[in-house]
Structure formats: C-alpha cells, structure tokens
Amino acid sequence: MTYLIDRRLQGKNKSAVNRERFLRRYKSQIKDAVGRAIKGRSITDIENGEKVSIPVKDVGEPSFGHAHGGVWETINPGNQEYQKGDLINRPKGGGGAGRGKAGNSDQMTEDDFIFELSREEFMNYFFEDLELPHMVKTQLTATTEFKNQRAGYNMSGTPSNIHVLRSLRGALGRRIAVGGNSRKRVEEAEAELEALLLDGAPLDAPRVVELKKLIHHLHTRLLAIPFIDPFDLRYSNRIKVPKPMTQAVMFCIMDVSGSMDETRKDTAKRFFILLYLFLKRAYDKIDVVFIRHHTAAAEVDEEEFFHSRESGGTVVSSALHLLDKIIEERYGAGAWNSYVAQASDGDNWDNDSVLCRQMLINTIMPKVQYYTYVEITDGPPQNLWEQYSQIPDHHANFAMQKIVTPADIYPVFRELFKKQPK
C-alpha cells in the first residue's frame, strides 16, 4: 500500500498564493473599488469585508483559438450544392471570434469580474495610503483584552499563592476527622476512671491502672496528629477571562460651512473611522453621535452628516451648546465614557472662538474622557486654532493637530492617541 503525503506549503489552502498574486497584480483596481466602498459605508460598518467588482477588460488573459487551416472533410446535412470531392474556399478571417457577443449582434456586453475581499484584506487596503504599520493594523482590527479572575483553589501552586485561611480550615477538619475516634475513647475511659475512683477503688487496682495507661496512650496519639499537613495546603487559582468592557459614546462634530468641500469631508470621515476603530478595542458598546454645524448646529444621521449640501457661515459655539445638551440628557449618568472629535477648517467668528474656548474649559472638558480637534487646512492656523491652543494648559485630555493631506491622517491620529508615559 502506498501513502501520499502532501508536504507543500499552503497544503490546506492551495489557492492562497494565487490569490496574493492576483491582489498584487490588480492592486490599483482594488484600491479604487475600496475607495468607492468607503464613501458608501457607515463608520460602524467599516470593518466588514467587501465585494469588489473589476471590469473584464482589466483582467483579460491571453487565450488560444483553433483556426480552420489544412484539409477538412465535413458532412453538411441537407446539402444540395456540393458533392464529395468538391473544394470549398477557405472562409475569410481566422479563429478566435472575439468575446462577449450575445443576443443582438449590434450589442457589445462585458461581465465584471466579482470577488470578495476578506475583513483583513479590506482593512489593509483602507489603511495603505495612510502608511499604517502592519503591527498597528493588526491591533486595530483584532484585539482581545483579558483580566485575571479567581477560580477556586488548587492543591498545588507557588508559596506566594497559599490561601492561609482555607488551608487552616482544611487542617482543622482533618484533625477533627482523624482524631475523632480516639477523642471519643478518651472521654469514655476518663468517665469510667472517675466512676471507679468515686466508688472507692484503690489507685493500684488493675482496672484503674489499665484505664490510666489507655488514657495516656490515646492522648499521645492525639498529640501526634500534625497541626498542618502538606495535604491541607490550598493555593488560590486564577484564570484569564475576557475583560468586561464598558460603554462609550463618540461625538463627531464637523463644520459644514461653504469652505468645507467634499475632499475635506472625506478626510474628516477617515479620521472619524480611525477613532471608531480605536475605541472598538476598549469598548463593547459604542454609540456614535453626529453633529454638523454652520451658523446653527443639528444632530443628524451619518448620510446627512457627510453628504448634505447645506452650507452657510460658521458659528462653532452652536455645536458645543448642542454637545453639552446631549451629554446631559443622554450620557450624563456616569456610565458612559465620552469621546469627542471635532473637524473644521478653523474659520470662525472672532468673538465666537473666545466663547468656544470658555465653554470647553469650564463646561465640556470635565465631562469627557478625551477631546480631539483636527484642523483640515493647507493654510496658516485660523482664529479657532489660536483660542483652542490655550485649552491644554487647563485640561490635559485635550489635544489638537493639523491635517494638510490625507497622508497626514494616521500620523496625526497616532500623535493624538499615543501612550502617555506613566
């Protein structure tokens, strides 16, 4: 009998190498498809995979066709024109009659090639133009935290984990169980000896001497029982369990005045997506609240937040008033961790920028875990930036950065959320 052993790499998934080659070959088409998918997705749905469609013209492969050359002998049913031995002129044109022709000969159709990107592949393409390191991508897409939890006792372990109370309790129970019979016999012998002495029996009477020896022997046996035995030792047992997560709310505040065009809105959306993925690592439940503002602020859904064409002047304080109201009404019970991300081009009325600084210092910052402000502009800092730059002196949980191009998004995000030295 012969056994065949497959020692090739990727033995259980032999198409993995071909898939990687395909992804490298059509990288530009896939990136375009992922870009289109991001614009049509919600922030909370960004981690799923995606079905990618690539036009057939971009995935064309060389093919071989058979031309009707040489001498052919055929039989055509119902032939009334030719006889055996007649020579037939070769048809004009060669083999390989094109592709995609179906139905009406005047119509040319091509089917798109559709395949599905995995969650990890989709995230890799999403972060690629942000120059996100591979290690950080792995942490953002899948991170599980654990905590140590007590899980009863073990009979073995390290001395530092000995549970003294549980060990002493076990030792006491063992001594009671082991010495119970002897203790009972001692009580009976002492009672009998006392009765004999009360009846006037002499001290050298045989029964009195025998009872004294028995009592001494039983007391010796009881004293020989060890106070604590290695069998009694119990050690605290701890196991790792998934860490119970709390809940968080993420506020996305964006300026939708006339100066915030679609490019800047798309940059803001990518920053909000990174923040959402970062919070998903620490919290099981995340609420996302969208606040848009020009001269007035409103809470909206994500579609209107990113794609509404309404615009006007800029009064940032209107958004901060609405933010404070929502926190007090829905997230002020202490059970929520509030995070705020504000995106703007920095343009605002001068007097209103001063009011924004005062509101943040006195009212909003004490209620939130972290507040980030990103200014999306390629020009000099605006008046809102100048006022906000005074807030970190009062609250360490306030941070601000400037984004010029989409390539700055992840470096800015990393700077905003880097680990602080303890």
**Alpha carbon distance 46, 34 (integer Å):** 11
The stretch 45-50 carries a mean pLDDT of 66
- pLDDT at residue 391, rounded to an integer: 93
Is residue 125 over pLDDT 80? no
- pLDDT at residue 101, rounded to an integer: 44
> What is the band of 41 on the pLDDT scale with cuts at 50, 70, 90?
low
Q: Which residue would you say has higher pLDDT here, 419 or 184? A: 184
Q: What is the DSSP track for 55-123?
A: -GGGS----------S------TT--S--TT---PPPSS-S---S---SSTT----PPEEEEE-HHHHH
Q: What is the CA radius of gyration of the chain?
A: 41
> What is the band of 72 on the pLDDT scale with cuts at 50, 70, 90?
confident
In the numeric block, which tokens belong to residue 305?
Answer: 């937040």
Is residue 294 over pLDDT 80? yes
> What is the band of 422 on the pLDDT scale with cuts at 50, 70, 90?
low
- In one-letter notation, the amino acid at residue 191 is A
In the numeric block, which tokens belong to residue 44?
Answer: 């909370």
Lowest mean pLDDT among 111-115, 206-210, 227-231, 242-246: 242-246
Is residue 191 over pLDDT 60? yes
44-53, 211-220, 241-250, range with greatest mean pLDDT? 211-220
Q: Please write the tens of the pLDDT for every residue from 377-420.
A: 888 888 889 899 999 999 988 988 898 888 787 777 777 766 65
Q: Which residue would you say has higher pLDDT here, 155 or 42? A: 155
- pLDDT at residue 382, rounded to an integer: 82
- pLDDT at residue 89, rounded to an integer: 76
When the pLDDT of each residue in the chain is averaged and rounded to a whole number, the result is 77
**Alpha carbon distance 366, 104 (integer Å):** 70
Is residue 193 over pLDDT 90? no
Q: Please write the tens of the pLDDT for every residue from 332-362.
A: 766 678 889 899 888 887 788 999 999 999 9
- pLDDT at residue 39, rounded to an integer: 65
Is residue 98 over pLDDT 70? no
> What is the band of 91 on the pLDDT scale with cuts at 50, 70, 90?
low
Q: Provide the 3-class DSSP secondary structure of residue 328.
A: helix
The stretch 308-325 carries a mean pLDDT of 85
> What is the band of 163 on the pLDDT scale with cuts at 50, 70, 90?
confident
**Alpha carbon distance 145, 281 (integer Å):** 8
Q: Provide the 3-class DSSP secondary structure of residue 15.
A: coil
**Alpha carbon distance 401, 408 (integer Å):** 10
**What angle (nearest 5°) sits at the alpha carbon of residue 407, between those of residues 401 and 413?**
40
Could you tell me which residues are beta bridge partners of residue 338?
A: 249
- pLDDT at residue 133, rounded to an integer: 41
Is residue 323 over pLDDT 60? yes
Q: Please write the tens of the pLDDT for every residue from 149-159.
A: 788 888 888 88
Is residue 127 over pLDDT 90? no
**Alpha carbon distance 403, 412 (integer Å):** 7
Q: What are phi and psi of 398, to 5 degrees?
A: -115, 130
Q: Please write the tens of the pLDDT for every residue from 219-276.
A: 888 888 888 888 888 888 888 877 655 678 889 998 888 777 778 888 888 888 777 7
Torsion angle (degrees, nearest 10) of CA 130, 135, 138, 143 = -120
Whole-model pTM?
0.50
The stretch 294-312 carries a mean pLDDT of 81
